[in-house]
Amino acid sequence: MRAEIIAIGSELLLGATIDTNSAYLARQLAAAGVNLYRKSVVGDNSERIAATLREALSRADLVICTGGLGPTLDDVTREAVAMAYGRSLEFHQALMDQIAARFAAMGREMPQSNRRQAFVPTGARIIENPRGTAPAFIVEDPIGTTVVLPGVPYEMRYLYEHAVLPYLREERGVTAVILVKTLHATGLGESAIGELIADLMLQENPTVGISAKQARYELRIGARADSQAEAEALIAEAEAIIVARLGSHLIGDEPLADRVARLLREQGLGIALHECTSAAPTFRALSAASGGSDGIRGVLIQPITNPIDEQAAADLARAGAVRTAERWHAELGLATQAASTIDPSGMTAVSVALATPTELLQQVTRRYDLRQAEGWDFVATLALDLVRRYLSREPA
């Protein structure tokens, strides 16, 4: 089954509201074995909604719409869906009675505008909504099926789980399984990783894709099968190939900061951090990790006051790593130090050092564009990966 999602609401286009409904539905459809091909967002305009729906139905067997089922004049999803299917709207007294009863239960008088919510496209299958006043509905037609759900997240989730999913399973014969596993990698660029697994990215099942986030990379393996065991076997086969090709650049199924925090706990080690900027990127990343703050013994933020070059930055990082570990009585000290000079390309040399209270263990210098705040996130990735490799006994 090919599916698409249409999120409806001008507030989504304006950025005033984040579309969490589509993300939820995407996860649920994948778990149900439904292939989701597209997600669209359209404002509260009946003609544009109808056009978007007709376009989706030309490609998909199933379209799920969320939003626009409220009682106000800008809630036009009902009219738009009827328009797309060439149908009229039909009033249902039973729905009107349910809406009125809900207002009565809340001790409130029902505004006349809520009468609009008792209309659905002619011939549609009604989904009663015990969590709100906006009934949902399903339109089945030779051109395709559309499920229309309210935009209020908790109402939408309830109706999907209690009405839509049983409909897909019991009446539409959806029985397949889609599993997704995410692996994390660092130390190689996205293009380099892409070249190593190019053949995997071209295959149809399982699928493999890459996402880049501050020099950290997520490799998603998605497998579709008739059973959980078959899907897991497909993922395991692809994962084994990726492990073999990426080697120590592959972190595994844990994010980098979580892996470092876990290794510190397992080895009973504490780490002290020395950072050259109030942004404190390494501290922020590690302290946000699961249990990451447990391993941090102390943090020293010491911005430079005088101009320094690349060599001076390396010297300060080395000294800072040792001094910070000693000061905070930590087994490890990790220091990041940036030069204050910027080369003609706009890059700044940053040195990262890892040490014990008595000796330097590892040190590396890289260049980053620190004119943008995100540049510091790349520094944190470099620093934490240095720790990960040391704790995992892997080469720097």
Q: What class has domain 256-391?
A: alpha beta
Asked whether 336 and 351 are in contact (CB, 8 A), the reply is: yes
Is CATH 3.40.980.10 the right assignment for the domain spanning 2-170?
A: yes
Q: What is the pLDDT of residue 150?
A: 96
What pLDDT, in 10s, does the model give residues 2-31? 999 999 999 999 999 999 999 999 999 988
Residue 51, pLDDT > 80, answer: yes
Phi/psi at 111 (5° precision): -65, 150
| 3-state SS assignment for residue 316 | helix
pLDDT score of 396 more than 80: no
Cross-strand bridge partners of residue 275 = 301
Specify the range with the lowest mean pLDDT, choosing from 65-69, 171-175, 388-392: 171-175
pLDDT (average), residues 363-378: 91
| Confidence at residue 281, expressed as pLDDT on a 0 to 100 scale | 94
Global confidence as pTM: 0.73
Tens digits of per-residue pLDDT, 83-142?
999 999 999 999 999 999 989 988 889 999 999 999 999 999 999 999 888 999 999 999
pLDDT reading at 214 higher than 80: no
What is the token pair recorded at 151?
A: 């935009």
> What pLDDT score does 341 carry?
85
**Cα angle: 217, vertex 220, 222; to 5 degrees:** 175
- Structure confidence at residue 269 as a pLDDT band (50, 70, 90): very high
Contact 63, 80 (CB under 8 A): no
* Residue at token pair 């209020």: 152
Q: Which of 287, 292, 288, 285 is nearest to 261 (CA)?
A: 292
Sketch the domain layout of the chain as residue ranges: 2-170, 177-252, 256-391
pLDDT for 323: 95
Q: What is the predicted pLDDT for the residue at 304?
A: 82
**Average pLDDT over every residue of 31-48:** 94
Neighbouring residues of 268: CB distance < 8 A, sequence distance ≥ 6: none
Q: How confident is the model at residue 373, as a pLDDT? A: 81
Q: What is the mean pLDDT of the chain?
A: 94
How large a percentage of the chain has pLDDT more than 70? 100
Say if domain 177-252 classifies as CATH 3.30.70.2860. Answer: yes
Confidence band (pLDDT; 50, 70, 90) for 298? very high
Asked whether the domain spanning 177-252 has the same topology as the one spanning 2-170, the reply is no
What is the reported pLDDT for 374?
85
Q: Show the tokens assigned to 129.
A: 């909504």
Q: What's the pLDDT tens digit per position in 58-80?
A: 999 999 999 999 999 999 999 99
